Structures are given as C-alpha cells and as structure tokens.
Structure 1
Amino acid sequence: MATSTHAPTQHRTATVPARPPRGPAVTFVLHLGGMAVAMLLGMLLLTPVVTALADAAGWDLSAAGPEAAALVMATTMTLGMAVWMVHRGHGPRSVGEMSAAMVLPFAIGLVPYWAGLVSGADALVVGHVLMLPAMVGVMLLRRAEYTGGHVHGPARTAWGRGVEVVAHRWPTFLALGLTFDSWVSPGIPPAWTLAVLGGEYLVIGAVRREFRRDRLLAAHVAGFVLYLGFAAVAATAPAAVAGPVVAAGWLLHVAWDVALHRAGRVTWRWFAEACIVIDLVLGVTVLLKL
C-alpha cells in the first residue's frame, strides 16, 4: 500500500504593504490631503489648550511677538500631523522628516522679520506659504512611501496604543477641542440653540431617509416640539429661569445622542459621539456659569 506524505501546511502572518486602491498620483494627493486635515485639526484642538495654559502661567501669547505665534502654530499642526502619520503606519524617520518640513518654513519666515524687512504678520504668512511646498518636496523624495498603501498593524508600544486611541475616538477629541473654551470662559448659549438641538436629528434623519411612518419619526417630531417649548421659555423667562432651562435642554439632549449612537440609526455614529461630548460640556458649563 502506497503511503503519501504531505508537508504540513504552514500558516504565516506577514505584514506586507497594502495594494493602493487607486493610482499612485491619487494616492499621493490623498496622503497630502490627510496630513493637511490632521494639521488643521491639531491647530484647532490644541491652540485653545496652549493659550489657556499660557494664561494660567501669566503669559500673554498675543503680546509675545510672531516668534511665539509661529511656535504655537508649528507645534500644534506638527503634533496633529504626527499622530495621523503614526496611525497610517509611517516610521519615525518619515514622521521626523515631515515634522521638519513643517517647522523650518516658519523659521525661514522669521529671518526677514528679524532683519526688519517684513512685519510679524508677513513672517507668519511666509511660513504658511512655504510649508505645503516643503511637505510636497519631502513626499517626492520618498515617493514610494507616499504612493503606496499602508497596513495598520497592532500597536506594540505605549505611544502606538495611545495614537490608536486618539484615532479611534477622534470625534470625542474633536468635540473636546471645540468646547475647550467653554471651561475657560463658560457662558450661556442663546435660547434659539435649543430649537436647533431639537430639530437637527429630524433634519438629518429626513435627509438620510431614515424615517418611515413609524414611532421613530413620531418620537423625533415630539422631541422637536418639546425643544421649541424649551426655546420659547428660555427666550421669554427671567434670567434666573432661562439659565437652568438652557442647561437642562443641553443635558437632556445627551440622552438623545446616546440612544441614537447605540441604535446606529438616524445620524452617523461619529456625529452622535461628538454631540454627546459637546452637549455634556455645554450643559455642565452653563450650570457652572449660573
């Protein structure tokens, strides 16, 4: 009886570059666009934090000259871009090169300012104008890296895991950045914002064709009517009553956000997640203002 032997099948898990779903030129542009968006988000989210910390330390950044403004802009944008690049699978060398391409233009822009040739505002403009060509230049030098795909492997370091948390919960961090000023300078939103809160999901659900003639549509219509009532009370009542009504409206809306986020209906999950944070922060800070 013949006996045949077969070599055991070996299963290996290898990390290989992902095939880009689009052409090299489009992939290149998408890489650049992703970094540009990350830069803007970094500046939007982190600049209020830096300003608040400087104020707490007794430093007036607005009076510190263009050097301080350039440092804040370059640092916050670079941090946002670096987090995105690490999430996309770029190594330390690539992140360092791109960071230098973002910081050096501001340093170059300050040289004519120090020489008395341009104003501080013009020096910052020079930095912004030179930044994009510098980034494109680095990408062209590493063309293969920016025209191919990347594999998102499991994070092996604490830094990598932290980056993944930020990337996964970006709606939460975006909402925290947008509402950071509310903690520093709390205020009471206008009464009409309650009407917007009541109607936003009704509009989004209608545009996305999520509603049918069912209880979900009836619930959103009822919610809109309720928030119109909140808005009317807040607009006509004395300040001692209007403030708590506004706070209650924002805090009550958190339950609405959570319900839609869990259900995955009517709105986008990322939008509901961001709204949970925004509504909670504004509701709490209104209570602190009272």
Structure 2
Amino acid sequence: MITTTHEPGHHRTATTTARPPRGPAVTFALHLGGMVLAMLLGMLLLAPVATGLAAAVGWDLAAAGPEAAALVMATTMTLGMAVWMVHRGHGPRAVGEMSAAMVLPFAAGLAPYWAGLVSAADALVVGHVLMLPAMAAVMLLRRDRYTGGHVHAPAPTAWGRGVEAVAHRWPTLLALGLTFDSWLRPGILPAWTLVVLGGEYLVIGAVRREFRGDRLLAAHVAGFVLYLGLAAVAATAPAAVAGPVVAAGWLLHVGWDAALYRAGRVTWRWFAEACAVIDLVLGVTVLLAL
C-alpha cells in the first residue's frame, strides 16, 4: 500500500506493506489448532500430577480400567483448553460447549465397552477419534465466533486476571509439570547431568550468535569449566559427597538462569524461566533423597 503525505515545502511518499486479512477458513483452523495445542499442553502438565497424586494414595491408575484413563485424559485436556479459551476472551457458554465436545466422545467410547462390544483400548481410541470432529462441529455451529479473528478481551475480573497470570507464566507451569514426579520419587541425579548444565547455555549462545563480546563468552566458558570440575568430583567422590555436590550444582544453576532471564541475553527468556524452576526443583529433591 502506497501512502503520500504533504508538508509545507515538502512532498514525501511513504511505502508500507499491509498484511492481507486472514480468510474465515484460516481463522477457523488457527482457533482449532490453538485449542488442540492447549489440550496437549494441559495433558502434558496435569496428567503426571494426577498419576502421582493417585499413586500417593495407593491408587494405580494403570490398573484401574479405561474409565480412570478416560477421566484423566478428558479432564486434563479440557482444563488446558478451557484456560486457553478464557485467555482468548471466550465466555462461560463457549467454554462449556467446547468442554462437552471433549468429554462426551469418551463417554461414547465407554458405552460399547460396558456393553462388551469393544476392548478397553478401543474405547479410548474411540474417544480420541471422535473428539476433534466433535470440537469442529461445535465450532461450525458457532462459526461467527470462530471465524471472526480475535474475540473480545476478557473482562477484568479476578478470574480473568488469574487466567492471564497463568498464561503469562506458562514456562513455570510447564517446568512444574515436567518435574512433579521428582517430588514423589526423589533421587540423586547422575554426575554427567552437571556437564549438561554447564554447557547448555554455551551451546545455545553460540548457535544464536549471542557472544559478541569476549567478557560474556569468557564468563560462560568459565562456568562450563566449573561444572566440569563439579561433575568430576561427583563422579569420583563417595556417595556421601557426590549427592550434595550434584544438588549444589543444580541449585547454583538457578542463579545462572535468573541472570540470563533478567538480561534477556544468550537464551530465550521463556527457556531461562523454565530452566530456573526445573533446576530448583531437581536441586531440592536431590537434597531430599540424601
């Protein structure tokens, strides 16, 4: 798009490129794709939590039958999707409709299982296969809502602010979900993990070409050498010494993560945030395992 502006004594032409608007089909697909990703993230984060809590009270979900598996999968995926929809500005009715579209397919799969017509595994497959068509059907029934681009922003309620906070801190939630099992079964990590800790930012920074100054590169090389030394001590020392050394390495790395997060250098900020939480949890749980 060419725009021309006139000023006294001047004639100036400015050229700007306008992004063409998305078509309804593309907007529809992006809405569906966003919800699917939110579902998968919800299951990734919350399924280990549900399994761990069940194990803590002596309930083995793996041996509990397809009903328990369907409940965990449907609930964790629905929660992830619901948080995303509220973040996008959808109201309770829209969230409720989409939640029903995710839960009812599992009920449809369990019904023939209870009747003895399909196996437990097939019942879960039916639930997964029917889920996406059911979600797409709801979206088609409300096509104006899902083909019109952005939905209005969430109202500034306590719930809306809470959802925004959750969405903003997704790296922390991801890290907590990935490390939840460590609280239930703490253990001492192998010494080689310290080598990975010491070298990860050196590799990432080199790939991203962040080391434009000698001081920043020297600091990361020194950190890598330090962690090589810690790994050597942990690998050769008695268990009574190796465990605390490994824990110290993970806990010290939290400071490294925090420094890069604040500086916005070397790595992605979301990655530094997630790593800080992972390092803290694993460092503490190693201490608990001593």
Secondary structure of 1:179's aligned partner = helix
1:59 and 1:95 mapped to 2: Cα distance? 31
**Corresponding residue number in structure 1 for 2:215:** 215
Counting only pairs closer than 5 Å after superposition, residues 250-289 of structure 1 correspond to structure 2 as 250-289=250-289
- Shift, 1:227, TM fit: 1.1
Residue in structure 2 matched with residue 187 of structure 1 by the alignment: 187
- Displacement after TM superposition at 1:165 (Å): 1.0
The Cα of 1:21 is off from its aligned counterpart by 5.2
1:47 paired to 2:47: yes
Cα deviation for residue 213 of structure 1 reads: 3.8
1:82 alignment partner, SS class: helix
* Residue 231 (structure 1) shift: 1.6
Is the counterpart of residue 114 in structure 1 residue 138 in structure 2? no
Question: Could you say which residue in structure 2 is the equivalent of 1:12?
Answer: none
**Could you tell me which residue of structure 2 aligns to residue 34 of structure 1?**
34
Moved over 4 A (4+): none
User: What is the rounded CA distance, in whole Å, between the counterparts of 2:155 and 2:233 in structure 1?
Assistant: 51
CA distance in 2, matches of 1:164, 1:63: 37
Query: Aligned pair 1:139/2:139, yes or no?
Result: yes
Q: Within the alignment, does 1:234 sit opposite 2:234 as a pair?
A: yes
Deviations 1:215-261 (A, max 9, x none): 00110111111111222222222211111111011001000000000
8 A Cα contact 1:87 1:152, kept in partner: no
CA offsets per residue over residues 45-80 of structure 1, 9 Å max, x none? Answer: 111222233233333322221111101110110001
Deviation digits for residues 76-108 of structure 1 (CA, Å, limit 9, x no counterpart): 100010000000111111111110110011000
Deviates more, 1:26-35 or 1:176-185: 26-35
Match of 2:160 in 1: 160
Cα pair distance change 1:282/1:27, threshold 3 Å? same
Equivalence for 1:25: 25
The 1:20–1:76 alpha-carbon spacing in structure 2 relative to 1, beyond 3 Å, is farther
CA distance in structure 2 between the partners assigned to 1:123 and 1:193 by the alignment? 41
Q: Is the 8 A contact 1:20 1:149 kept in 2?
A: no
Distance 1:66 1:48 in 2: 17
What is the alpha-carbon distance in structure 2 between the residues aligned to residue 186 and residue 163 of structure 1?
A: 31
Alpha-carbon distance change, 160 to 213 in structure 1, aligned in 2, over 3 angstroms:
closer
Deviation at 1:191, TM superposition (A): 1.4
5+ residue gaps, structure 2: 1-18
Distance 1:21 1:176, change over 3 A: farther
8 Å CA contact 2:260–2:266 kept in 1: the answer is yes
Contact 2:42–2:77 (8 Å) recurs in 1: yes
Letter in 2 for 1:217: L
Find the counterpart in structure 1 of residue 82 from structure 2. 82
Assess, with a 3 A threshold, how the Cα gap between structure 1 residues 35 and 245 changes in structure 2: closer, same or farther. same
Worse overlay, 45-54 or 275-284:
45-54
Q: Taking structure 2 as the reference length, what is the TM-score of the superposition?
A: 0.89
Q: 1:211 to 1:32 in 2, by over 3 A?
A: same
- Is contact 1:83–1:163 with CA below 8 Å preserved after alignment? yes
Q: Answer yes or no: is 1:92 the counterpart of 2:89.
A: no
* Count, aligned residues: 272
Give how far 1:130 is off: 0.9
- Asked if 1 retains the 8 angstrom alpha-carbon contact of 2:88 and 2:154, the reply is no
Distance 1:135 1:223, change over 3 A: same
Q: TM-score, normalised by structure 1?
A: 0.89
Greater shift in the superposed pair: 60-69 or 49-58: 49-58
2:74 alignment partner AA: A
> What's 1:73 paired with?
73
Query: Contact between 1:101 and 1:138, CA under 8 Å: does it hold in 2?
Result: yes
Matching residue of 1:103 = 103
